[in-house]
Every structure is written in structure tokens, then in C-alpha cells.
Structure 1
């Protein structure tokens, strides 16, 4: 077995992307119900989410290889174009497909344990999340190929934060959710800056893939708008993140220390500036893709710490 190849296939950076919203949701739960907080369940939820996302990333590689976009892609970067392992012949399509399905299976197994021992509400959230992940590139829906990938990403982040909260503060039924209106509002507001920055980071990763995606009919938003016009969507997503963050702090829904998350603003501004200039030069975009990714990670960590302080 080629261990290094499989490590690359699992795209560890992107696993960190989904671990952070789970920790944020757990932090919000800790702030409101510290007596019910469980570190083991937090760890279990993180592993389940990482397994689900691993399956999503791996199946994305498989279906992008089958569609031909990763085969045609000559502008692969550390953040875009897939792992490149299937076009290179390093891994077999069958092996990658099996690995993706096994990752989904592990996530389902862990999720079932959480549902049975914490709350049935987790099942509803988990099924929706799994469906988004699986059908992101898998037929028949192929969300990323039909212009719904960005919307799916934007929706998935608040869902992860909510799921983590419910794991820590488990309601017995949907009716019990009404008693948590205040905390659930905070869950939503805290998740939105993270969702906008997460979506922005994954959105900028699409720019280097423009030619290959266009050639196979993968009509994501960058392809639909064209790279030059698509830049302004990235700027809008980045701006909305900090606008919502500020509104949450001013309204008192977010802790005052959430303002620490503004430390990520220069990183987002740097990414916006770079994308405006180099939107059609994939290799030159790499520092700006990293900056967008770092902005998301840094802001989410800051927000999480604010709830623990």
C-alpha cells in the first residue's frame, strides 16, 4: 500500500476545515450548558465529521476523474484540481471509490452511536449533512456540477455547528428544541461568519479549475459567471463574514471577545486584492488561496476561544 499517496488522497487540510465548526458548536454549548458538556462526545463528533468529509473529498476525486475534469486539468495547485493521484495512475478508481464509501460508513457508524446515546435529533442533522456530502459530486444530483455547490457549502457549515451543539445539549425531541431558542440563535449567528469564510475559501479554490471544469460542463458559479465577474462573489462572501461578525458583537449575541476574529480581516483583504489581479493566473493565485484558507481557520479558532473565555 502506498501510504503517502493515501495520506494525500485524504487531503488533511480539508479535514481541518470541518473539524473547526464542530469545535465551535461544542464551545457554544459549553458556554450555555457547561454541566452537560462532554469532551469524549466532542472528540467523537469531530471524528465522525472528519470521516464524512473524507468520504466527500475522496468521492469528489473519483467523480471528477470520471467526468474528465481532473484528467484535463493542467493547472493543479495544492488547493485545487483534486489530488491528481487518479490521473497519474498512482491509485486505482475502484480503490478510491471503496475508500470513499468506507469513510461514509465509518461516519454513519459513529453517528448512529451518537444518535442512540444522545439525541434522535442528531439523526436528522446527520442525514442531511451526509446527503449534501455524498451528492456533492455523485449522481443523480451532482450539486457541484449544476451550480448548487456553493449553496451546499454555505448551508453545510451552520449545520455542522448546530449538530455539534445538539450533541452536547441533547434535546429528547423536536418539541424540546423550542426551549433553546436563545442558544440556537447564537449558534446560527456564530456560524454565519465561519460559513461565509469557509465558502469563500473553497470558492477561490475553483478559479484554477476554470478551463477543465468548463470543458466537461461542471457549471459551478465561477464557470457560470466567468472568472472576472466571479471575483466579486468572493469579495461579497468575505465582506459578509465580517459584517455579520460585527453585527453579532454589537447586538450582544456574540461575546465581546469575538472581536479577536477580526485579526483574520487582513488575510481576507489580501486574498481579495490578489484575486482581483490574478484571477486568470492559477499559479500566482496560490498565496491568495492560502490566505483565504488561513482567514477561515484563524477566525473560527478566535470565535471558538471567545465562547470558552
Structure 2
């Protein structure tokens, strides 16, 4: 039971995001015709997954300590795992493992900097800062909170992977990283809809709290359009192959999630199929994009 509690705070069903974003950076490195070191790829992937575990566990710990876990209505996609309220004695263990996971990421990062050069240091520092500040600080500021998820998973993971595997930089990883940037921002944004009252009660000031759900849905729409427009522009400019149009297909999931946001607003948690569609868009789009780039 205790191990199950700790494992639950890792939010394992969401950990797939990290490998997919790393895979997208891997695809751009292959498109650059670089020789990819299996060891470097394994280290990048390991560091990304442990970074994700760390941010999940630290978020669970601080949500428990603030009392938020006792106020949110849990769904499969929002409100946290709910693991700690039933096993409060495991809180310190969750904190320690979350910090150890961050340490693993940092150690891997230092090795990669020594191996590939100082140019990846800003990416690493930005990632660590996001992990440390997300729950306790960024959630109190609507705009940083809005873009932090996409910045961490989208831009930093994709760009960092490309830079480490190729030893350089180019327009391509920046351009394709916009896709997970916008979609993962939307993933967290929509998941905040059911938790507005609970989040506000513990001092959070997310975008939906600060500006309301109607404006949040407008932002969701802008991000959704921007994500898929980025793919079309990249195809039109010849940065990615024409077959990458397949990555636009999951737009139907975002449209479905958007319809749920417009129809149910704060009650969307009662209809988890819309939140699930939002997850499907955020996961399948960069995956298909990466596959299409490799096969292009």
C-alpha cells in the first residue's frame, strides 16, 4: 500500500509526455542527418523522465501540505492523484523521492554539459527552475503558470534533446517545439477548470482564476489553432515533409475538448471524456509529428 501511494504520486499515466517530447527532439536530430549516440539518447530520456517524476511528486507534496488535496474533486485527469490524503505518513517520503529525482536529472545534466558543451546550460537551468518554482510560485501568477507546462515539456525538452544529440541548433527544433508548447499549455489549462474554487482557496492565481473561464476558453482556442497552424506553416515552408499533415488529424480531439469547455465550463470535470480528448491531442500530435519527420 505504501509503495502504491508513492508510485501514485508520480502520476505514471502522464509520464508518457516526456518520452514523446524527447522523441520529437530525436526526430529533428535525425532530420539534421546527425549521428545519434544511443548513450546520449538514453541519458536525455532518463533525465527527462526523472524531471517529470520530480515535478509531479513535488506538486503532490505541496498540494497535500497546503490542504488543496482535501478540497479538489478528483477526476482521471485533474485534481491530483489523491494518494497522500489517505496515507499522510508518506508525505516526507514523497518529498524526498521528488528531490532525489531532481538530483538525478541535475547529475545527468552536468554530465551532458561536460560532454556536449556549455551551450546547453541555459536549457538545463531553465528546466530546474521550472520544476522548483512551479507549484509554490508560478501557480500564483496567471501568465507564467499558463505557459510553464509548454515551456518545460515543449520547448526545453525538444530543443534540449536536439542540441544534445546534434551538438548544435537550428530553426527546425524551435519550430516543431511550438506544437507541444501550445498543446501541453492547453492540457494543463483545461485541467484547471474544475479546480478554480479549490485552487483560489489556497492562494493560487491561475489564468482561469484571474481572468475567468470564458477568457480561458478563448486562450485555449488560440493555442489550439496556433499548434496546428505551426504544422501547416512548417510544411508550407519545407521545414518538415508533406506527410506531416498526418499530425493535424488529432485536431479533432482538441475541437471536441473545446466544445466541452464551452458547454460545461467549470463542470467539465463531470464529463471526463472532454479532458481525455485534450490529453489525446497533446500526446498523439507530437508523436505523429515525430514519426512523420523521421519517415519523411
Which TM class, normalised by the smaller chain length?
over 0.9
Where do 5+ consecutive residues of structure 2 fail to align?
A: none
Aligned to 1:163: 160
Change (3 A) 1:14 1:91: farther
* Pairing 1:19-168 to 2, within 5 Å after superposition: 19-34=19-34, 36-73=35-72, 75-89=73-87, 91-138=89-136, 142-147=137-142, 148-156=144-152, 157-168=154-165
Checking the alignment, whether the CA contact within 8 Å between 2:51 and 2:105 is kept in structure 1 is yes
Mapped partners of 1:280, 1:5: distance in 2: 28
State the TM-score, normalized to the length of structure 2: 0.93
For residues 166 and 26 of structure 1, what CA distance do their matches in structure 2 show? 10
CA distance in 1, matches of 2:85, 2:141: 23
Alignment of 1:1-309 (within 5 A): 2-34=2-34, 36-73=35-72, 75-89=73-87, 91-138=89-136, 142-147=137-142, 148-156=144-152, 157-171=154-168, 180=169, 184-309=170-295
Q: Quote the Cα distance in structure 2 between the aligned partners of 1:23 and 1:154.
A: 16
1:282 CA displacement: 4.0
SS at match of 2:80: coil
Please report how far the alpha carbon of residue 265 of structure 1 lies from its aligned counterpart in structure 2 after TM superposition. Answer: 1.1
Specify the SS of the correspondent of 1:92. Answer: helix
Indicate the larger mover: 151-160 or 263-272.
151-160
User: CA–CA distance in 1 between the matches of 2:164 and 2:57?
Assistant: 26
Aligned residues: 293
2:179 alignment partner, SS class: helix
Q: Using the alignment, how far apart are the partners of 2:200 and 2:246 within structure 1?
A: 40
Runs (4+) off by over 3 Å: none
Cα distance, 1:274–1:230 mapped onto 2, change above 3 Å: same
Per-residue CA deviation, residues 31-56 of structure 1 (Å, 9 max, x unaligned), is 1133x212332122111011011111
Separation in 1, partners of 2:4, 2:79: 18
Structure 1 contact 76–209 (Cα < 8 Å) conserved: no
| Separation in structure 2 between the aligned mates of residue 101 and residue 40 of structure 1, nearest angstrom | 24
Pair 282,274 (structure 1): closer, same or farther in 2 beyond 3 Å: closer
Distance 1:91 1:58 in 2: 15
Contact kept, 8 Å, 1:76 with 1:208, in 2: the verdict is no
Instruction: Tell me, yes or no, if the aligned pair for 2:25 and 2:159 is still in contact at 8 Å.
Output: yes
Q: Structure 1: give runs of 5+ residues left out of the alignment.
A: 172-179
Q: 1:158·1:192 contact (CA, 8 Å) conserved in 2?
A: yes
Q: Give the root-mean-square deviation of aligned CA atoms.
A: 1.6
Residues 189 and 254 in structure 1, CA contact (< 8 A), matched pair in contact too: no
> CA 1:20/1:170 → structure 2, altered by over 3 Å: closer, same or farther?
same
Separation in 1 of the partners of 2:59 and 2:277? Answer: 23
